[in-house]
Structure 1
Amino acid sequence: MKIVIAGAGIGGLITALSLEAAGFTDITVAERTPEIRGLGVGVNLLPHAVRELTELGVADRIAALGVEPGTLSYYNRHGQPIWSESRGRDAGYAWPQLSVHRGRLQLELRDLVEERLGDVIRLGHRLVDLREGADGRPGATAVFELTDGSRTELSGDLVIAADGIHSAARKLFYPDEGEPVWSGLTLWRGTALVDPLLDGRTMVMVGDAEQKFVAYPLSGPLEDGRQRLNFIAERRGGGSPSADWNRQVERGPIAEIFEGWRYDWLDIPAVIAGAEELLEYPMVDRDAIPQWVFGRVVLLGDAAHAMYPNGSNGGSQATLDARTLAYELATTPSIDAALSAYEGARRPATARLLGLTRQTGPERVMQIASERAPDGFVDVHDVIPREELESIAAEYKIAAGFHPEQLNARSSFTARAGGAATGGPAVAGAS
């Protein structure tokens, strides 16, 4: 089977690795940028994604890039604790959670694809059109514009569009959709070198639905004892709904927005002011769509289901997409039946998850605390019963497919074309 993947981001590269592991090697990955530069800030890979990376044999290399967080803690804007829970193996998972720099992750995945598949990545290829297979045969042809303005075509039995939230493929099938949907929130993302946060392995979320600060380490202690901290500062309003992921802004004015958010365990204005760089962009997503498969073209990752970062699930869901698609192609009698099974497994699940992220996902506990006790509290359980906090956390894990008992118990999704399967489709929320 000949396969073309449009997009060499996290989703596209993990798809290539998943297909290779399933026995498919005639793969071309076309990337619009002239160079994979490893840009971005932090990303979290949750245990259900790390399980898939482990079964692909790449988790150790990715783990070496970052930190394995052990705790996630929520606070109100007064710095009072709302809820804490263990994460990864500390929570009883068989696999860790990993916090890594997105750019370093992308470069490592690129290297792995080249090691396993050879020279298959084509840079400077911007997708501009899609057609059915040549000469009436089943398949698809992707048309790309090159950096010099000329065009080239790549044909295959299947084209996988993993070309992100601004997917050209999705726009071809949904030309009237318009731009991503802005939540009204503006994000400022960056990294900073700071003294270790709490125990050095804790993710923190501070604030509420109007203003919030998220931080987690991307490295262990460096030579000077500090660690690299990834952070997201967020506020309703401000900024622009135009999603330019590389717009740099001055640190001082953003630090001033968080003036007063200083606690004995974290000085938020100082972290922002000390950022290595600060990028501004809106919190956007896209509405769920009724179809991902169009003949022999299929959407994957953000091209199919871009969602808010609440719950840290974007890269993880793209990983599940990749593994599910590879599994179905390896075990289902025909390509068309495999694509139908993939969409049936993943589209409804991610639509449910998208809805939860629009309700702020597990971060809902912060807004509840703000609404019920805007001036703070003595004991959070006077405001939110423990059972309610536990229920919110469990609901999201089940919907996203990474409740510990559910994930640890399910069978593997590893399969090879023409061989025996060892699992079933990766349906978020299914045990």
Structure 2
Amino acid sequence: MRIVIAGAGIGGLITALSLERAGFTDIVVLERTERIRGLGVGINLLPHAVRELTELGVADRIAALGVEPASLSYYTRQGQLIWTEPRGRSAGYEWPQLSVHRGRLQLELRDLVEERLGGIIWLGRKLVDVQELDDSAVAVCELPDGSRERVAADLIVAADGIHSAARKLHYPGEGAPRWSGLTLWRGTALVDPVLDGRTMIMLGDAEQKFVAYPLSGPLEDGRQRINFIAERRGGGSPHVDWNRSVDRAPIADAFAGWRSDWLDIPAIIRDSEELLEYPMVDRDAIPSWVFGRLVLLGDAAHAMYPNGSNGGSQATLDARTLAYHLATAASVDDALAAYEQARRPACTRLLELTRQTGPERVMQIARERAPEGFSDIHDVIPRSELEAIAAEYKLAAGFHPEQLNARSSLSARVGA
């Protein structure tokens, strides 16, 4: 069976690795760019994704790219601690959470695909159409010179992102991604270790927020590289360009006063290696991901806000679930139906929670109930409420420790 994957991002490359591990080898990955450059900033791979990468036999390679955060702490704008919880193996998972540079991750996945499957990544192929037949499909690609190429397949997996051409074919009136009104400025910086050097931190509320987490251990000079996100309502524009570099000074000024004895946010922004601006956008849930022998995956199926740090992890689960059902179902049609049943309702629920700011809503609750601060957070938000918010998101996203540790494996091979 020939399987064509549109998109060589995180989701597309992990799909190729998942299919190979499941026993499929006739795979082509169509990538619109003429060179995979490994762009972007940080990404978190949560334990449910790292479990899948472990079973693919690639987790050690990816872990070497970044660090394993041990805790996550939420703070008010004034720097008062709201809630902290262990993460990864510190929280009782059998698998860690990993924080890595997205570009380095993409390049490593590319190398792994080439090692296991050879030269299956065809560059300079932009998907523009899918012609669906009874039991097959044809991917129509535009080449750099403007000509078109047809690639026949038994199955086309559209992992072509938030601007998915495949999705647009079936939802032509959907329009641009839905803007939340918030703008994100993302970057990396070299700083003295924050707290213990293994903590992910979030400060602020629904109107303005700062997030940071380590991407490396201590370097030779004692500093470490961190990823950060500065978020504010307004500013920017709803136009999505993941690689638009902007001046650091105005953004640092917008966070003037966000300083404490352990964190100087304006200085981090001013000293960043690069600052990229983009709007916080998502897409509405759709009623189907499957159209004959075309199936959507990752952001093409369920682009969502980054609240909860879960986008790459959900694409990983998509890839592994699809490969599992293709290997075990009686037919391709049965496999696609099982994949959609397993993934679409869960992602629809998760999209709803991210629009409510996911587990980060504890910061907004603290802001609403105690705008001037507090002496004891549990007078403002009872511990039981904090724990319930954290647990609700983990359950919806598929990484509650007990749930994940007990779940059966998604590893399977066709014909086994």
Class of the TM-score when normalised by the shorter of the 2 chains: over 0.9
**Does 1:351 pair with 2:355?**
no
Give SS of 1:74's match: strand
Runs of 4+ in structure 1 displaced over 2 angstroms? none
1:278 and 2:275 matched: yes
Residue 411 (structure 1) shift: 1.2
Aligned partners of 1:379 and 1:61: how far apart in 2?
43
Tell me how far apart the structure 2 counterparts of residues 28 and 369 of structure 1 sit (CA, whole Å): 49
Partner of 2:26: 26
Report the counterpart of residue 161 of structure 2 in structure 1: 164
* Distance in structure 2 (CA, Å) of the matches to 1:417 and 1:34: 33
Query: How far does residue 246 in structure 1 lie from its aligned partner after superposition?
Result: 1.1
- Distance (Å, rounded) in 1 between the aligned partners of 2:169 and 2:407: 37
Aligned to 2:336: 339
Aligned sequence identity (%) = 81
Counterparts of 2:68 and 2:402, CA distance in 1: 20
Distance 2:363 2:212 in 1: 15
Alignment of 1:373 with 2:399, yes or no, is no
Using the TM superposition, give the Cα deviation of residue 138 of structure 1 relative to its aligned residue in structure 2, in angstroms.
Answer: 1.2
Amino acid at match of 1:299: L
1:265 equivalenced with 2:256 (yes/no): no
Question: 2:186 — aligned with what?
Answer: 189
Q: Which residue of 2 aligns with 1:429?
A: none
Which deviations, in whole Å up to 9, do the C-alpha atoms of 1:232-284 show, x marking residues without a partner? 00000111001111111100110000000001111000000001000011000
- The amino acid of 2:248's aligned partner reads R
Provide the C-alpha distance between the structure 2 equivalents of 1:64 and 1:139, rounded to a whole number of angstroms: 40
Q: Which residue of 1 aligns with 2:129?
A: 129
Shift of 1:132: 1.9
CA distance in 2, matches of 1:375, 1:243: 35
The answer for the alignment partner of 1:427 in structure 2 is none
1:320 is matched with: 317
- Deviation readout 1:23-64 (Å, 9 max, x if unpaired): 000000000011100000000000000000000000000000
Partner residue, 1:82: 82
* Structure 2 counterpart of 1:294: 291
* Structure 1 counterpart of 2:10, one-letter code: I
CA distances 1:78-101 after superposition (whole Å, capped 9, x unpaired): 000000000000000000000000
Asked whether 1:245 is paired with 2:242, we answer yes
Query: Partners of 2:209 and 2:200 in 1: how far apart?
Result: 13
Residue by residue over 1:288-325, the C-alpha shift from the partner in whole angstroms, topping out at 9 and shown as x without a partner, is: 00010000000000000000000000000000000000
Corresponding residue for 2:11? 11
> What SS class does the counterpart of residue 345 from structure 1 fall into?
helix
**SS across alignment from 1:263:** coil
Distance 1:21 1:130 in 2: 26
Match of residue 385 from structure 1: 382
Q: Secondary structure at the match of 2:267?
A: helix
In 2: Cα distance, 1:388 partner to 1:128 partner: 48
Letter in 1 for 2:331: S
CA distance in 1, matches of 2:220, 2:165: 44
Q: Secondary structure at the match of 1:262?
A: coil
**Which residue of 1 is the match for residue 110 of structure 2?**
110
From 393, 396, 409, give the equivalent of 1:396. 393
Question: SS at the partner of 1:266?
Answer: coil
Residue 255 of structure 1 pairs with residue 252 of structure 2: yes
Give distance in 2, aligned partners of 1:363 and 1:74: 8
Residue 122 of structure 1 aligns to a residue whose secondary structure is: strand
1:73 partner amino acid: S
The gaps in structure 2 that reach 5 residues or longer are: none
CA offset at residue 164 of structure 1? 0.3
Looking at structure 2, the residues matched to 307 and 324 of structure 1 have their Cα atoms a distance apart, in angstroms, of 19
User: Displacement, 1:410?
Assistant: 1.1
Deviations 1:120-143 (A, max 9, x none): 00001001111024xxx5111000
Superposed CA RMSD in Å reads 0.5
In the other structure, the counterpart of 2:54 is: 54
Q: Give secondary structure in 1 for the equivalent of 2:320.
A: helix
CA distance in 1, matches of 2:147, 2:192: 51
Aligned to 1:179: 176
Q: Name the residue aligned to 1:201.
A: 198
Amino acid at match of 1:401: G
Which residue identity lines up with residue 47 of structure 1 in the other structure?
Answer: P
Aligned equivalents of 1:129, 1:164: Cα separation in 2: 15
- Residue 402 (structure 2) aligned to one of 401, 405, 408: 405
Aligned counterpart, 2:64 = 64
Alignment of 1:144-155 (within 5 A): 144-155=141-152
AA of the residue aligned to 1:292: W
- 2:173 is aligned with what amino acid? D
Letter paired with 2:174: E
CA distance in 2, matches of 1:277, 1:147: 29
Unpaired stretches in structure 1, ≥5 consecutive residues: 420-431
Cα deviation for residue 145 of structure 1 reads: 0.4
Q: 1:286 and 1:264 mapped to 2: Cα distance?
A: 40
Aligned to 1:219, what secondary structure does the other structure show? coil
TM-score by length of 2: 1.00
